[in-house]
Homo-oligomer: A and B are copies of this chain.
Protein backbone atom coordinates (compact mmCIF):
# COMPACT_ATOMS: atom_id res chain seq x y z
CA UNK A 1 0.00 0.00 0.00
CA UNK A 2 1.40 3.37 -0.96
CA UNK A 3 0.08 6.85 -0.19
CA UNK A 4 1.22 10.23 -1.38
CA UNK A 5 1.51 13.26 0.91
CA UNK A 6 1.62 16.79 -0.48
CA UNK A 7 3.95 19.09 1.41
CA UNK A 8 4.27 22.84 1.01
CA UNK A 9 7.54 24.21 2.33
CA UNK A 10 7.81 27.87 3.31
CA UNK A 11 11.52 28.52 3.70
CA UNK A 12 14.60 28.19 1.54
CA UNK A 13 15.71 25.53 4.02
CA UNK A 14 13.66 23.98 6.82
CA UNK A 15 12.80 20.75 8.58
CA UNK A 16 9.03 20.34 8.55
CA UNK A 17 7.57 17.76 10.88
CA UNK A 18 5.28 15.22 9.19
CA UNK A 19 4.91 12.70 12.03
CA UNK A 20 1.16 13.15 12.48
CA UNK A 21 0.48 12.75 8.77
CA UNK A 22 2.51 9.54 8.57
CA UNK A 23 0.93 8.22 11.77
CA UNK A 24 -2.53 8.83 10.32
CA UNK A 25 -1.68 6.81 7.21
CA UNK A 26 -0.41 3.97 9.42
CA UNK A 27 -3.63 3.98 11.49
CA UNK A 28 -5.84 4.12 8.41
CA UNK A 29 -3.99 1.12 6.96
CA UNK A 30 -5.11 -1.08 9.83
CA UNK A 31 -1.71 -2.82 9.78
CA UNK A 32 -0.85 -4.21 13.22
CA UNK A 33 2.70 -5.40 12.59
CA UNK A 34 4.80 -4.44 9.61
CA UNK A 35 7.09 -1.79 8.26
CA UNK A 36 6.70 1.77 7.03
CA UNK A 37 9.03 3.34 4.44
CA UNK A 38 8.85 7.11 3.97
CA UNK A 39 10.42 7.97 0.62
CA UNK A 40 11.30 11.36 -0.90
CA UNK A 41 11.23 11.49 -4.74
CA UNK A 42 13.33 14.70 -4.83
CA UNK A 43 17.07 15.38 -5.11
CA UNK A 44 17.26 18.62 -3.10
CA UNK A 45 15.21 17.41 -0.13
CA UNK A 46 15.62 14.62 2.41
CA UNK A 47 13.94 12.82 5.30
CA UNK A 48 15.18 12.45 8.85
CA UNK A 49 14.12 11.18 12.26
CA UNK A 50 15.15 13.37 15.18
CA UNK A 51 13.87 15.25 18.24
CA UNK A 52 10.51 16.95 17.88
CA UNK A 53 10.14 18.43 21.38
CA UNK A 54 12.48 21.42 20.98
CA UNK A 55 12.45 23.07 17.52
CA UNK A 56 15.97 24.36 18.22
CA UNK A 57 17.28 20.83 17.63
CA UNK A 58 16.36 20.65 13.95
CA UNK A 59 17.47 24.26 13.50
CA UNK A 60 20.87 23.36 14.94
CA UNK A 61 21.05 20.47 12.46
CA UNK A 62 20.09 22.80 9.60
CA UNK A 63 22.75 25.34 10.64
CA UNK A 64 25.43 22.72 10.83
CA UNK A 65 24.48 21.31 7.41
CA UNK A 66 24.78 24.86 6.08
CA UNK A 67 28.34 25.04 7.45
CA UNK A 68 29.15 21.68 5.86
CA UNK A 69 27.70 22.65 2.48
CA UNK A 70 27.27 26.44 2.32
CA UNK A 71 24.59 27.63 -0.07
CA UNK A 72 26.98 30.19 -1.55
CA UNK A 73 30.02 27.95 -1.76
CA UNK A 74 31.96 27.07 -4.90
CA UNK A 75 30.44 24.27 -6.92
CA UNK A 76 30.47 23.09 -10.52
CA UNK A 77 26.72 22.50 -10.86
CA UNK A 78 25.45 25.68 -12.49
CA UNK A 79 21.87 25.81 -11.21
CA UNK A 80 22.87 27.37 -7.90
CA UNK A 81 21.51 24.56 -5.73
CA UNK A 82 24.52 22.24 -5.50
CA UNK A 83 24.58 22.70 -1.72
CA UNK A 84 21.00 21.42 -1.53
CA UNK A 85 22.00 18.23 -3.38
CA UNK A 86 24.88 17.71 -0.93
CA UNK A 87 22.59 18.18 2.09
CA UNK A 88 20.12 15.69 0.58
CA UNK A 89 22.97 13.18 0.12
CA UNK A 90 24.01 13.52 3.78
CA UNK A 91 20.48 13.28 5.23
CA UNK A 92 19.16 10.57 2.89
CA UNK A 93 16.04 9.98 0.82
CA UNK A 94 14.18 7.46 2.95
CA UNK A 95 13.53 6.33 6.51
CA UNK A 96 12.32 2.88 7.50
CA UNK A 97 10.30 2.34 10.68
CA UNK A 98 8.83 -0.79 12.24
CA UNK A 99 5.08 -0.84 12.95
CA UNK A 100 4.08 -2.62 16.17
CA UNK A 101 0.63 -2.80 17.78
CA UNK A 102 -0.74 -0.71 14.93
CA UNK A 103 1.62 2.21 15.59
CA UNK A 104 4.99 3.48 14.35
CA UNK A 105 7.74 2.29 16.72
CA UNK A 106 8.94 5.87 17.27
CA UNK A 107 10.82 6.63 20.48
CA UNK A 108 9.40 9.18 22.92
CA UNK A 109 11.39 12.10 21.51
CA UNK A 110 11.37 11.05 17.87
CA UNK A 111 9.58 12.85 15.08
CA UNK A 112 9.76 12.44 11.29
CA UNK A 113 11.01 15.53 9.47
CA UNK A 114 10.88 16.47 5.80
CA UNK A 115 14.11 18.34 5.02
CA UNK A 116 13.74 21.12 2.48
CA UNK A 117 17.08 22.36 1.16
CA UNK A 118 16.02 24.29 -1.96
CA UNK A 119 12.64 25.83 -1.22
CA UNK A 120 10.10 27.08 -0.84
CA UNK A 121 8.39 24.49 -3.06
CA UNK A 122 5.53 22.07 -3.38
CA UNK A 123 6.89 18.62 -2.56
CA UNK A 124 5.71 15.04 -2.34
CA UNK A 125 6.37 12.27 0.14
CA UNK A 126 5.60 8.59 -0.53
CA UNK A 127 4.53 6.49 2.44
CA UNK A 128 4.60 2.75 1.89
CA UNK A 129 3.20 0.32 4.43
CA UNK A 130 3.53 -3.42 4.35
CA UNK A 131 2.09 -5.94 6.77
CA UNK A 132 3.80 -8.97 8.21
CA UNK A 133 2.40 -12.28 7.12
A residues apposed to B, CB below 8 Å: 1-2, 33-35, 37, 39-43, 48-51, 54, 56-57, 59-61, 63-64, 68-69, 75-79, 82, 85-86, 88-98, 100, 105-110, 126, 128, 130-133
List residues of chain B with CB within 8 A of the CB of A64. Answer: 68-69, 86
A41 near B106: Cβ-Cβ < 8 Å: yes
| Complex copy number for this chain | 3
**How many angstroms from the CA of A57 to the CA of B106 in the assembled complex?**
30
**How many angstroms from the CA of A39 to the CA of B108 in the assembled complex?**
14
Query: When the two chains form the complex, which single residue of B90, B94, B131 contacts A96, counting CB atoms closer than 8 Å?
Result: B94
Query: When the two chains form the complex, which single residue of B69, B85, B108 contacts A51, counting CB atoms closer than 8 Å?
Result: B85
